[in-house]
Structure 1
Amino acid sequence: MLAQTLIVASAAIVLLLGSLHLLYTFFSDKFVPRDAALTAHMQRVSPAITRQTTLWRAWVGFNASHSLGAMLFGALYGYLGLLHLPMLLDAPLLLAIGLLFLGAMLLLAQRYWFRIPLVGIGLALLLFAVGTALLLA
């Protein structure tokens, strides 16, 4: 079924992006500022909300939790799309939540991120939206 393939492909894209983001967070320097002095400063300074962490630790934690959210979306909708498609059909709220999540991620990508996540999330949203429309038709 085409709707199923599109929803699963959308989920796979988001799962891949989230997984790469998590790997880059912990096993690369891709999210380290180009300015070494800024990195050192982030490792010393606390945010206004608390002195129990530093901006650097918060930065790493935010990147990791962001990754986990994308991975959860991809795993959940991939699983439902592959093995429980009737459940998605019987629960249009889950489809709406998926569309809203991807739409919000696309807005964040447009405003704050760069081209690769923007294109990936845009494609995932398109596939999910078309799959949802076909599923509900």
Structure 2
Amino acid sequence: MQQARNLAADLGMRMKSLRFLLRDRDGKYGAAFDMVLEAEELEVILSAPRVPRMNAHCERIIGSIRREMLDHVLIVNEAHARQVLAAYRRHYNTHRPHQADSNYRLMPRNGPTPQCTTSTPAECCGPGSSAA
């Protein structure tokens, strides 16, 4: 409970711009913890049960979105954010050939794929090579 109070005090006025808190189901967060945050008008969302690595997956996708999209676009409002995220989702799920061979085969090729003729991938795809 004291942790929630400290969080609310540290965030101060910025707390008003927050709407959700995603937390895991650890026993150290009790009902009192949630009540303090709900008093600050935050909706507490629990992670899925028995998914210990969920936070790592969430952090990875959020980091990807931030680095690949939000660092390059100035978001004006919520409608614009939804539009940009929808475009990124399409790109992330369809236009990234390194995800799987099946996705790569579906994409049109503009030229021949560079073939590695050396013995190790580091020599073929290392810095300064034409395949990298």
The TM-score bracket by the shorter chain reads under 0.3
Which of the pair has the greater relative contact order for Cα pairs under 8 Å at 6+ separation?
1
Larger helix fraction of residues: 1
Give 1 or 2 for the bigger CA radius of gyration.
2
**TM-score, normalization: structure 2?**
0.25
**TM-score, normalization: structure 1?**
0.24
Larger strand fraction of residues: 2
